[in-house]
Amino acid sequence: MWRKLHRYLTLIVGLPFLVWLLSGLAFNLFSDDTLSGRTHFQTLPLQQAKLPNGFSLQRTLDKLKIKHPDDSISKVRLSQSFARSTLIINYNKSSLAATQYLWADTLSPIELSHHQLLVLAKASYRSEKSDEVNNEEVVFSEPKLLPAHFSRFRNDDSASHNQYIVQVDDRLKTRIYLDGNTAQVLAHLNQQSDVQDILFALHFFDFDHDNGLAFNHWFIRIASALTLLLAISGTVMLYRKLKLKIQRAN
Amino acid sequence: MWKKVRIWHWWLSLIIGIQVLIWSLSGAYMVLTDIQFIRGQHLVKSIPSVKPTPHINYGFRQVLADYPSATNLQLNLSVQTPYIQFNNEQQIMKVSIVDGKNLPALTVAEISNQARAHYSGNASIENVQLLEQAPSEISARHAPVWQVEFNDTAHTTFYYREATNTLVSKRHDYWRIFDFLWRLHIMDYWQGVDIHTPWLTAVSISSSLMALLGLFLIYPWLRHTFFTNRKSRRSDNVA
């Protein structure tokens, strides 16, 4: 019975099992840095906190409360972007998205222009030394709005759906992902991180990476349960055969 | 040839079979349990802001005037005594929005109240203690931390970073099982972080070979069970 079960299970999940092992082996062999996609990434320098003229925290809260009387603010963070102060407002629960990004002087939502997005992308990019020596300048594409289904970097709590991609014509074909509503660099990806994406897709059987990595989907759940059964049946057969061999030897 | 393949498959299974069983078991646990549940999202509820908010006499402007090198300024309204928190010369500071005075460290009672407000269950608090070093189940960078243990079946534990009073980790027994199985899965039994160990490489290569040989063995079984039987049945019918 166990032998039959083992053979049928091998027929069903033998190939996914092998894919798991090989992709796991690849993760083991590649170093984390090699596949991170952050080869050219540099953190943006911390800007000194500066407030707009006449700014009052109390008045700002009052104005926000008038705008959204039903929403309770839990946190207000001060930040800087393009030499302007920004406020990151966290709401507890509301009809609004849980986080809002506003310019501190006007309390209007941040919405970066294409020029500002490009400046942000360039600021997050560190050139290779060989490029500098050869005096080769990499070319940045115009920021392009990401399609609505691309939710990989979208936070459920955020109002921001205004995300862009800037492509860099460098050796690794770097792609810089930016958020037009938070003025943040979301990620750097490149051909090396694409390899990592393929390995993740194979290891988690999630081939639509645009919406982030999922590993609780039904296909992987069924495959993992059957693989566990495959391993158990194999162990039982192994144990029986071993027991028989020992008995024969005695 | 098939006999040799079977012998190799058997010997490899004998050597690394236990690890393959562990991988299957740990992998199944990881994908069958909801990751949001493991992260303990169901254990917390958001705390409503203090109403009415006290008048802000000491705001961001006053902080920057008194501490010109302050960074990461934030106003926190979801605690009993709202405050402004900021970084000043590698130190995290918390000052009152009423008078700008440094807030004293929270007491056991205050942390307990905060934890009770965060906790979505009904169990009582069993133990509260301030730990100078973070336990292995949370990141060391959070230390010192308040550890709040609840008296529920899953032994829920909340960790609050002392410097910021923020809830940094939620742990429960299902998370602990997940962590234990993860360590077994990547064969880093001590730290649970290194996936590049040579023994993992060796066992992965051996297991891949074992699985490949197992897949090869399907061929003679398929040929014998389905094709031979069908042929013999067909010849029986003809006869």
* Residue-wise pLDDT tens digits, A33-44: 888 888 999 998
pLDDT band at A106 (very low <50, low <70, confident <90, very high): very high
- Nearby residues of A200 by Cβ (< 8 Å), 6 or more positions away: A206, A209, A213
Subunit contact A28:B196, Cβ cutoff 8 A: yes
Q: Kindly state the average pLDDT of the residues A107-125.
A: 94
B51 contact residues in A (CB cutoff 8 A):
72
The whole-number average pLDDT for the span A1-24 is 94
Beta pairing class for A175-179 and A184-189: antiparallel
Mutating which of A11, A12, A18, A21 best tests the B interface, going by the most B Cβ atoms within 10 A? A21
B38 against A129, higher pLDDT:
B38
Residue to mutate among B58, B166, B204, B206, with most A CBs inside 10 A, is B204
Q: If you measure CA to CA, which chain A residue comes closest to B36?
A: A216
No. of helices (H) and no. of strands (E), chain B: 7, 7
Asked if A225's CB is within 8 angstroms of B28's CB, the reply is yes
User: Are the beta carbons of A76 and B77 separated by less than 8 Å?
Assistant: yes
Is it the case that residue A139 has pLDDT exceeding 80?
Answer: yes
Considering only CB atoms, B60 lies closest to which of A10, A51, A232, namely A51
List Cβ neighbours of A110 (8 Å cut-off, separation of 6 or more).
Answer: A81, A86, A101, A102, A103, A180, A181, A182, A183
Residues of chain B scoring pLDDT < 50: 239
What is the model's pLDDT at position B239?
47
Min Cα–Cα distance to chain A from B35, Å: 7
Residue B31's closest chain A neighbor by CA? A216
- In angstroms, the CA A145 to CA A142 distance is 10
Identify all chain A residues contacting B201, using CB atoms and an 8 Å cutoff: 25, 28-29
Does the pLDDT value for residue A93 go beyond 70?
no
A58 closest CB neighbour out of B30, B55, B211: B55
pLDDT at A95: 47
In the prediction, which pLDDT does B164 show? 85
In the predicted structure, residue A97 carries a pLDDT above the cut 90: no
Q: What is the DSSP letter of B102?
A: B
Which carries the bigger pLDDT value, residue B141 or residue A154?
B141
| DSSP 8-state assignment for residue A30 | S
- The SS3 call for residue B125 is strand
pLDDT band at residue A155, thresholds of 50, 70 and 90?
Answer: low
CA distance B203 to A131: 41
Q: List the single best residue of B23, B75, B218, B222 to mutate versus A (max A Cβ within 10 A).
A: B75
SS3 B187: coil
Q: What is the pLDDT of residue A128?
A: 76
Q: How far is CA B47 from CA A4, A25, A64, B114, B160, in A?
A: 56, 44, 19, 9, 15
Angstroms from B156 CA to nearest CA on chain A: 23
- Among residues A50, A54, A77, the alpha carbon closest in space to that of B65 is found at A50
Chain A contact set for B221 (CB, 8 A): 7
User: What sign for the dihedral angle of Cα A38, A152, A18, B207?
Assistant: positive
**Helix (H, G, I), strand (E, B), or coil: what is residue A80?**
strand
Rounded distance between C-alpha atoms, residue B4 and residue A234, angstroms:
18
Check pLDDT > 60 for residue A69. yes
Residue A94 or residue B72, greater confidence: B72
Instruction: Collect all residues of chain B within an 8 Å Cβ-Cβ radius of residue A22.
Output: 208
